[in-house]
Chain A
Amino acid sequence: GAGVSQSPSNKVTEKGKDVELRCDPISGHTALYWYRQSLGQGLEFLIYFQGNSAPDKSGLPSDRFSAERTGGSVSTLTIQRTQQEDSAVYLCASSPQVNEQFFGPGTRLTVL
């Protein structure tokens, strides 16, 4: 079946602009995660959605970052007033249960 999909695959933007990154999880997966992968770094947790529960936003690095998940499926990560340090690969993962996470291909964001 189809895996996790993310769009766009690449995004180049100018400093100060807002960007939206989209994640389509695997159908039926109740949990959805966003991570950020910077050059030479591991994966950094950003936010976690589980069913209808309030999301765990503890990993968001600043209030410029927000995310929503509509209808328990598609999720959008929004970065406002982008900065150069936001340049990274943003990865989405979904899970049918706790722990086992399946990752999408990521969105490579470049802020000029």
Chain B
Amino acid sequence: QQQVKQSPQSLIVQKGGISIINCAYENTAFDYFPWYQQFPGKGPALLIAIRPDVSEKKEGRFTISFNKSAKQFSLHIMDSQPGDSATYFCAASQRRGSTLGRLYFGRGTQLTVWP
């Protein structure tokens, strides 16, 4: 059972545009929601993360929007650049309980930004 569902599977955006990737989860015990960026042949790198006590977090061109009641969160990349072309994974975990720290990942979104 996929604990975190991610869409779209692939996304093509023009340079300067906004990239939006969406994720949904079922387990209300999740309390940590990171996004990872992965380039070919590399391991995932933590991009930005949010906890459910805030509805939005912004770091540079990257913003996470979080909707606790809908159990959804999304990544927005403003002014998308060709260098942003990568695979993006959303994830979720909980800080307590038997699955402490274990990350549940979405299946990833392959982003291509055309120059």
Bitwise interface map of A from 95 to 106 toward B, beta carbon under 8 Å scored 1, else 0: 100111111111
Q: What size tier do the contact residues of chain B reach?
A: 20 to 34
User: Which of chain B's residues have a CB closer than 8 A to the CB of A33?
Assistant: 101-103
CB <8 Å contact, B43 and A48: no
Q: In angstroms, how far is the closest chain A Cβ from the Cβ of B44?
A: 5
**How many of A's residues come within 8 Å of B, CB to CB?**
27
Instruction: Choose, from A38-46, A62-70, A71-79, the stretch at the interface.
Output: A38-46
Closest A residue to B33 by CB, please name it: A99
A26: interface (CB < 8 Å)? no
Interface centre among B49, B105, B106, by most chain A C-beta atoms within 10 angstroms, is B105
Chain B residues with CB under 8 Å of chain A are: 6, 32, 34, 36, 41-46, 49, 89, 91, 93, 95, 98-108
A-B pairs, top 9 by smallest CB distance, nearest first, are A103-B43, A42-B105, A42-B107, A43-B105, A99-B32, A98-B101, A105-B43, A103-B44, A98-B95
Pairs A–B under 8 Å by Cβ, sample size 16: A31-B101, A41-B107, A42-B6, A42-B89, A42-B108, A43-B91, A43-B105, A44-B105, A45-B102, A48-B102, A50-B101, A58-B99, A101-B46, A105-B41, A105-B43, A106-B42
Chain A residues with CB under 8 Å of chain B are: 4, 31, 33, 35, 40-45, 48, 50, 56, 58-59, 91, 93, 95, 98-106
